[in-house]
Structure 1
Amino acid sequence: MTVVALVFAALAALLHVYIFALESVLWTTPRARNTFGTTAEEAQATRQLAHNQGFYNLFLAVLAIVGVVVVAAGGTAVGLTLVVAGTASMLGAAVVLFASDASKRRAASTQGAFPLLALLSLGVAALV
């Protein structure tokens, strides 16, 4: 079950790298504006905020990926700690988004699904 959790953690990390790219690199492009529902003017006005937020998503992804790699290298306790820290933070951010803006609930559910599955899988693995 731990392997399943690590796969979900890696998928969560990949999704957060994609979100990083949208927020920090592509924010003012039509694709990112369509994804986040912003106008060209809104995207330009919020560019610096989105850039910073994107890096938060990247750092969470790095945390989870480093944890997966450390577990694969045999450092189970340290690696799982990093995976839990990264995925729990991702899930926490998704819960905040879900609770704070009803129009963003689909995005929040997408953002939080893989981290939730990773954490649930780790919980099951700990019980077995």
Structure 2
Amino acid sequence: MQNIATIATGFVALLHLYILYLEMFLWNTPKGRKTFGLSEEFAAASKVLAANQGLYNGFLAAGLIWGMWQGSTGQSIKIFFLACVVVAGVFGAVTSNKRILFIQAFPGAVALALVFLSGESP
């Protein structure tokens, strides 16, 4: 079960690295605009804010990777950062786009449940 929890946590970390890439580097490109459903004008006007969002997603990924690096002693770190992912995903779904619930919050919640079920002690 620990291996499955680690794989799920790693998937969430990779997902957030991809979101970082989209928000920081592709926001104002055709791919970024299509991904987020943005007009060219809005993407240009919000590019700096998107880069900031991307950086925060990078911090989430870094925290998850840090927790995984620690092995069983990183249980509390994984729980904290996965909980942050779920909260951010729910907030994004409520305030921005309901798809975020399935793209961000759901994988985070699954990984969080698997970490709890893995039996490692925090």
Q: TM-score, normalised by structure 1?
A: 0.87
2:41 is aligned to 41
Is contact 2:90–2:100 with CA below 8 Å preserved after alignment?
no
Indicate the RMSD between aligned Cα atoms, in angstroms: 1.4
1:83 is aligned to 78
- For residues 17 and 3 of structure 2, what CA distance do their matches in structure 1 show? 21
Secondary structure at the residue paired with 2:24?
helix
- For residues 7 and 113 of structure 1, what CA distance do their matches in structure 2 show? 15
- For residues 39 and 28 of structure 1, what CA distance do their matches in structure 2 show? 9
1:30 is aligned to 30
Q: Deviations over 1:60-117 (max 9, x none)?
A: 001001111110xxxx23x11211121111111011112224xx21233111222111
Is contact 2:19–2:54 with CA below 8 Å preserved after alignment?
yes
Identity of aligned residues (%): 34
2:108 is aligned to 115
Q: TM-score, normalised by structure 2?
A: 0.91
Matched, 1:93 2:94: no
Is contact 2:86–2:108 with CA below 8 Å preserved after alignment?
yes
- For residues 106 and 62 of structure 2, what CA distance do their matches in structure 1 show? 18
2:16 is aligned to 16
Is contact 2:20–2:54 with CA below 8 Å preserved after alignment?
yes
Matched, 1:105 2:98: yes
Q: Deviations over 1:32-82 (max 9, x none)?
A: 1011111111011001100000000001001001111110xxxx23x1121
Where does the alignment leave 5 or more consecutive residues of structure 1 unmatched?
none
Query: Alignment length, in residue pairs?
Result: 120
